[in-house]
Structure 1
């Protein structure tokens, strides 16, 4: 008998005997830009029944590819887990990711993008019109500013294009997930390079943490 001959809820021990796998396993399919934050929240709460697999963060440069990548990941892993959750917001997919998740029977994080759910979707929506001219950084983007902002826009080669790209912005808002002076310094330097005012907001993990907590609690309750 091979592993493929066994039911989905069984595995082989070293002695070749079939035993039941632990039930209630959760898989989070997430954007790679959220990996550090998810792993931190997971560790602090002791959610050992929750696994994480990440899609490349660079997909945010090509949001039209996100939905297909998530669909493929769900189909690949769904037989190995009791529940799968998608740790993306809409993220520029124009509602297509939401429709795909509904079709696949999986839940995703609410909100238009991570800047909203880190701040808290309600708080983000309540901000005034001045936010329309804000450029946002998270901890991830503060670390990876060159790779995900500066170089993709060609500003490493053509710095004279800076004002063309950022001329309609008035400030850079750094949404800090962690209280890290080094990252704050990096974010401030990013604002200076872009010619923008700098504002730091300590958001923590916002709706990301509360959403993960809800998923973990509901999954645990369903197994009791």
Structure 2
């Protein structure tokens, strides 16, 4: 028997706020799946580039710029990827198409949720969110909220030196890790970066054979044993559903 979605257990008559989620591009597929699974047609997801994983200090001010643009309803383009949900009560600026055919979000929003944990910003993203009066995801990084806090602590305690992959990172490891970290051009960097790791932990959000095969290849290329931990969407789904249904529309 299929497990009902979190939102399916709520009253269909509950009024829903108009919510913009400004998120990491590495969470785009998962966030769109969560909005579809839970019928969150009131939610728009707009994504910053996933490549910021390699430049986390740039994240806070880019997030601030997106918040202010959303509030000002400015239609100009800022570099990145936008991932709208299925047909929504929130409007889009149809003249602001990106290269991938998605649109920048525009229109009136009741609330904004930042789809990032700290993600290596050293508390700077939290500071921006406090200054701008918006909420962000709890935790240190996406590995923690996919695995859930308690399970992630268990994984950490079981084997020190774990390198983590999500579905996104598994599919894109060569671009983001092998090439993005310079290993493709300088193979000696592999052992410099990963010599102290003991295993590769694949946090599996969905049963995607291509992502699984990519995770195996990544672990092999890094010289690490692969451990697979099925997680689903973990605490990400809970956080998004609870946030997007708790605000009273204006």
> Contact between 2:16 and 2:244, CA under 8 Å: does it hold in 1?
no
SS in 1 for 2:237: helix
**Match in the other structure for 1:188:** 216
**Match in the other structure for 1:64:** 57
Change (3 A) 1:160 1:205: same
Q: Is 1:78 aligned to residue 106 of structure 2? A: no
Distance 2:219 2:54 in 1: 20
Query: Deviations for 1:101-160, whole angstroms, at most 9, x for unmatched residues?
Result: 111110000000001111012321344534430000000001111111011222112223
Q: Is 1:200 aligned to residue 228 of structure 2? A: yes
> Contact between 1:23 and 1:82, CA under 8 Å: does it hold in 2?
no
Unaligned runs of 5+ in 1: 1-21
Change (3 A) 1:75 1:43: same
SS in 2 for 1:157: coil
Aligned residues: 201
SS in 2 for 1:30: strand
Q: Is 1:104 aligned to residue 104 of structure 2? A: no
Q: Is 1:178 aligned to residue 171 of structure 2? A: no
**Match in the other structure for 1:152:** 180
Cα shift at 1:183: 1.3
TM-score (norm 2): 0.76
Cα shift at 1:87: 0.4
Which of 186, 192, 198 aligns to 1:164? It is: 192
Q: Is 1:91 aligned to residue 119 of structure 2? A: yes
Unaligned runs of 5+ in 2: 1-14, 73-107
SS in 1 for 2:121: coil
**RMSD across aligned positions (CA):** 1.7
Query: Deviations for 1:171-213, whole angstroms, at most 9, x for unmatched residues?
Result: 0000010011221111011101100011001000111000011
**Match in the other structure for 2:153:** 125
Q: Which runs of 4+ in 1 moved over 6 A?
A: none
**Match in the other structure for 1:4:** none
More helix by proportion, 1 or 2?
A: 1
SS in 2 for 1:27: strand
Change (3 A) 1:94 1:131: farther
Q: Identify the structure with bigger relative contact order (alpha carbons < 8 Å, sequence gap 6+).
A: 2
SS in 2 for 1:159: coil
Change (3 A) 1:23 1:175: closer
**Match in the other structure for 1:30:** 23
